[in-house]
Chains A and B, each alone.
Chain A
Amino acid sequence: MNQKDNGITHTISLLVMNKPGMLYRITMVFARRGYNIESLVVSPALDGHYSRITITAEGDPKVLEQIIKQCDKLVDVLHAEEYQDPSTIEKELALIKVKVGTGERSEVLQIVEHFKAQTVDFKDESLVIQVTGNTEKLDACVDMLRKFNLQEIVRTGKVLMRRGLQAT
Chain B
Amino acid sequence: MDEEVDKMTFEESLKGLEEMVRKLESGELDLDSSLQVYERAIALRDHCRRILDESERRVQKIMETSEGTERKDLPVSK
Q: Do A and B come from one complex?
A: no
